[in-house]
Structure 1
Amino acid sequence: MIGQLRGRPLELAQRTAVEAVLASGSRFPYFKLSYDRYGVEVDLRQLPGEFPLVEGAFSGEPAPTTEYYSAATSMIDQVVDNVLADGLRKGHVEHVSVFAFARLPLLVYLGRKLGDGYGVDFYQRHQTTDSWVWPNVEAPASFAADMPEVSAGGEGVLLASISGTVHENEIPEALNGLPVFRIQPIDRTPAGGIIDSRATLENLRVTLRKFFGELEKQHKNIVRLHLFGALPISAAIALGRIRDPIIQPSIVTYDRVDYGSYRPALEIR
């Protein structure tokens, strides 16, 4: 799934994906579901709302419209519900390797759509190596969830500070007073590149599973969770896939449109 994030170009040729999958050591890429043998692709780059970066200007980008998210999620639905689902029914698919570059709300949505009926591996581009191949590290990072003892009402806020720190004072005023949940690294500062290995990603996945399990156990009253995340690509997809849409809260995602300013983007049920 390829989008244009803050105008940055992305190189993701078939050869790049093949090399990354082969480097995993256990799989060989197979492209039977695509007529051109290229792969199953969701290309968001031509959608209105894929804003280019203005040189020399900071501070985020215009907030995508409701129409943008409706069109983007429809594209994801079409590929997952038709092409991929058909491959599953016919026995062509037992495992999916996911390469993605898009806005956080769409990454979480993609994870939600992938479901849990087959194996999935996530890949992301690593700044330190300029590659999609997962590096091997000796000391993977670990993560922890901080939860309030009690919560009232049906809504809460989740601050997921993984690749950066999300501060409580950045939460929109309308959400002030809601119980705040946090997920962050243990004994490390949240920073870009922290998800630097499969082992680190798995540690985060374990923490996310525990978080949603404890949420269901201790805070069953929470039916909607407002997500403010500094999340790497693989982490955002993992969060969407781990959450159980039947028994766990819906996730309201937000776009960061300038420094310290968030706008609601997409509610994932």
Structure 2
Amino acid sequence: MSVTSIDNKNKFMLWAISGGRCQYRGCNKILHTDILTKRNFNQSYIAHIVADVAGGPRGCATRSPLLADDITNLMLLCDTHHRLIDRDDVIGNPEVLLLEMKAEHENRIANSSNISADKQSHIVTLNANIGVHTPNVQYSIISQSLLPDYYPAVAANIDLGTVNTLNKDSDPNFWNFELSNLQQRFDRLLFPLLNSGDIKHISLFGFAPIPLLIKLGVLLNDITSVDVRQKRRNPDTWKFDDDINTIYNFSTARDVKTQVALKIELSDNIADERITRVLGDDISIYSISIDHPSNDFVKSRKQIIDFGEKMKEAFREIKKIHGQEVLLNIFPAMPISLAIQLGRVWMPKADVSMKIFDQNYALGGFSEALEIKHL
């Protein structure tokens, strides 16, 4: 047990730099409000990393008296983790580990506090069944990825999708159901806030079939300030790296024919035969590709922005060659963030209408999902 009376100055300083939360790694419990009754009272304990007496946890005959009232040696903890480090698992919580926890926590609080008021961002999510998988993009996870660039404007996400439904993307009415649901939730939950100016910035997290993500991008367009996020597998994160250059190749069709298709070969290559099997041979096939297709290559915002510019180039070239009234059949193999960006850069008055196809093994290949018409 501590025998030192901590100076009030250090107590107040510790509360400030910890944000009034438990500093034990992974806890982050608020120490001034009861989670059930919501009553305000002090639940904190101030623990010594190096005990203030030589015989205490992690104590030292020389250093204990020197660090007894030193802010660098103090941690703000909840009751559970105070007892854990001082009584139940002293060996499992050595000095070096506790110092790491303290530094991590205080750096996180400092980074959060340093964000200016104009960096508020509303978190918008779209979840929908992908084959047999039912994704669920959780607020508790994605909200952490905003820092230090932005911080959540409210402590909840605006979800435009549905999860755990019985609808599968191989069902005949799947697309009609999902499109109707997306439009209704967008009109009810998001559009009024955008229209009123209550939302200045959106952090967008999608985990849904590619055609739905393209449609969501169309709904948001390029007027709204949106930070489109990409789920990465390795490492498992929604955070971005610094700017990365990716060369997107736009290949034109060999012949001008009645129908037009655009292959987007970013996650995988798409053989022309897979398109002619659906639409026949009377078709001009264009392509946007990268040298080494991968479903995990998007790691920076620049890659998303650059793809949008390449899509604009493709839209302009196809319209110039085939005219405004042509229907562009899109066959996508692409990451989720780029699908949203495709929809965002498409201009309803300037660009051609699109028919989006979806790869579905249960249906034997590419099948029509939805159509997006120009004005």
TM-score range, shorter chain: 0.7 to 0.9
Distance 1:192 1:149 in 2: 28
| Equivalent residues of 1:109, 1:237 under 8 A apart | yes
Name the structure 1 match of 2:140. 15
Provide closer, same or farther for how the CA distance between residues 164 and 222 of structure 1 changes in structure 2, counting only shifts above 3 A: farther
- Is the deviation greater in 103-112 or in 113-122? 113-122
Q: 1:17 to 1:105 in 2, by over 3 A?
A: same
- Residue number in structure 1 paired with 2:239: 133
RMSD between aligned residues = 2.1
Gaps of at least 5 residues in structure 1 are: 32-36, 51-61
**1:54-133 mapped onto 2 (5 Å cutoff):** 63-65=170-172, 67-133=173-239
Of 131, 146, 160, 2:264 maps to 160
Which residue in 2 is equivalent to 1:203? 306
Aligned letter for 2:312? R
SS in structure 1 of the partner of residue 226 of structure 2: strand
Amino acid aligned to 1:143: Y
> What aligned pairs does 1:210-249 form with structure 2 within 5 A after superposition?
210-220=313-323, 223-249=326-352
8 Å contact from structure 1 (residues 164, 192) kept in 2: yes
Structure 1 pair 202–133 and aligned structure 2 pair: CA distance change class (3 A): same
Task: Tell me the residue number matched to 1:255.
Answer: 358
Aligned residues: 246
Residue identity opposite 1:177 in structure 2: D
Q: Which residue identity is paired with 1:89?
A: N
Question: Does the CA contact (< 8 Å) of 2:324 and 2:352 recur in 1?
Answer: no
Verify the 8 A CA contact 1:40 1:79 in the aligned structure 2.
Answer: no
Q: Sort the Cα spacing of 1:39 and 1:114 in 2 relative to 1 into closer, same or farther, 3 A.
A: same
- On the 8 A contact 1:223/1:248 being kept in 2, the answer is no
SS at match of 1:179: strand
Say if 1:11 and 1:48 are closer, same or farther in 2 by CA, change over 3 A: closer
Return the structure number with greater relative CO, CA threshold 8 A, min gap 6. Answer: 1
Please say if residues 127 and 136 of structure 2, whose CA atoms lie closer than 8 Å, have aligned partners that are also in contact: no
Matched residue SS, 2:315: helix
The offset of 1:209, in angstroms, is: 1.5
**Hey, what's the Cα distance between the residues in 1 that align with 2:132 and 2:330?**
24
Q: Could you say if the C-alpha distance between residues 236 and 182 of structure 1 is closer, same or farther in structure 2, counting changes exceeding 3 Å?
A: same
Q: Which residue matches 1:48?
A: 166
**Residue 212 of structure 1: CA displacement?**
1.3
Instruction: Note the residue ranges of structure 2 that are not aligned, 5 or more in a row.
Output: 1-125
Q: 1:208 to 1:76 in 2, by over 3 A?
A: same
Q: Deviations over 1:83-125 (max 9, x none)?
A: 2221122221122111010111111111111123321111121
Kept in 2, the 8 Å contact 1:47–1:72? The answer is no
Q: Structure 1 or 2: larger helix share?
A: 2
Post-superposition offset of 1:248: 1.7
Tell me the percent identity.
23
